[in-house]
């Protein structure tokens, strides 16, 4: 029974914390610091247990915006219309082909907006899209075909095609997603913190 006793108050507090964390289903391991002056508690758990605890405690958790709202992560025009939809309806051949490949071979949100059966835009509906914007969007689509996330692909395309500031607001960026346009930031959020209730 000697090991059931705590030699001092700090040991008692430490053991009480360990018992409390263990009762929640967390795995706790104690380790000494390199100089043996401190004792650290390493706490780990499986993801599903952490999500369950976060929901029980109404603790804020991170949500991937690309999974929550994939269309908002895609490049859009100043009216928040997805460029995939605008450029494919305007009959840009390269954009249409890249979107077709994405639709046929990848689960991609931009490709979901492309429908080969959609009626083409009439002369009155066609938008004026500068060649540099179309080329930057094609660069973006090729990056997505290589498996890059939307934010990385947008950044790469913007580096390859720097925009003239007077044409694209004060940002000077050709491609922007809905979050970047709404918040007026250079790189929009990729993760959102929400509180479970």
Alpha-carbon Rg for the chain, nearest whole angstrom, is: 26
DSSP structure string for 24-81? TT-EEEEEE-TTSS-EEEEEE--HHHHHHHHHHHT-EEEEEHHHH-GGGGSEE-TTS-
Q: In which band, very low, low, confident or very high, does the pLDDT at 24 lie, cut at 50, 70 and 90?
A: confident
d(CA 74, CA 137): 10
pLDDT at residue 188 greater than cutoff 80? no
d(CA 53, CA 22): 13
What is the band of 10 on the pLDDT scale with cuts at 50, 70, 90?
A: confident
Residues forming a β-bridge with 44:
27
**Cβ(74)–Cβ(84) below 8 Å:** yes
Name the E strands within the chain: 27-32, 39-44, 60-64, 75-76, 176-177, 191-195
Residue-wise pLDDT tens digits, 122-156: 554 445 557 888 888 999 999 988 988 888 888 88
pLDDT single digits (tens) 73-127:
888 887 888 888 888 777 778 888 888 888 877 665 555 555 555 555 455 444 5
pLDDT given at position 25: 82
* Residue 139 confidence (pLDDT): 92
């Amino acid at each position: 029974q000697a090991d059931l006793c705590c030699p001092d108050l700090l040991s008692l507090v430490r053991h009480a914390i360990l018992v409390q964390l263990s009762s929640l289903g967390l795995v706790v391991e104690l380790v000494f610091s390199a100089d043996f002056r401190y004792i650290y508690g390493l706490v780990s758990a499986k993801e599903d247990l952490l999500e369950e605890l976060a929901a029980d405690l109404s603790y804020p958790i991170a949500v991937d915006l690309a999974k929550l709202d994939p269309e908002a992560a895609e490049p859009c025009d100043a009216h928040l219309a997805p460029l995939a939809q605008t450029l494919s309806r305007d009959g840009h051949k390269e954009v249409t082909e890249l979107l077709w490949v994405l639709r046929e071979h990848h689960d991609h949100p931009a490709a979901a907006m492309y429908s080969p059966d959609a009626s083409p835009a009439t002369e009155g509906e066609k938008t004026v899209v500068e060649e540099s914007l179309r080329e930057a969007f094609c660069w973006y689509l090729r990056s997505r075909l290589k498996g890059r996330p939307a934010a990385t692909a947008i950044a790469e395309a913007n580096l390859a095609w720097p925009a003239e500031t007077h044409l694209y607001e004060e940002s000077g960026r050709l491609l922007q997603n809905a979050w970047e346009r709404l918040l007026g930031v250079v790189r929009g959020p990729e993760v959102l913190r929400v509180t479970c209730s």
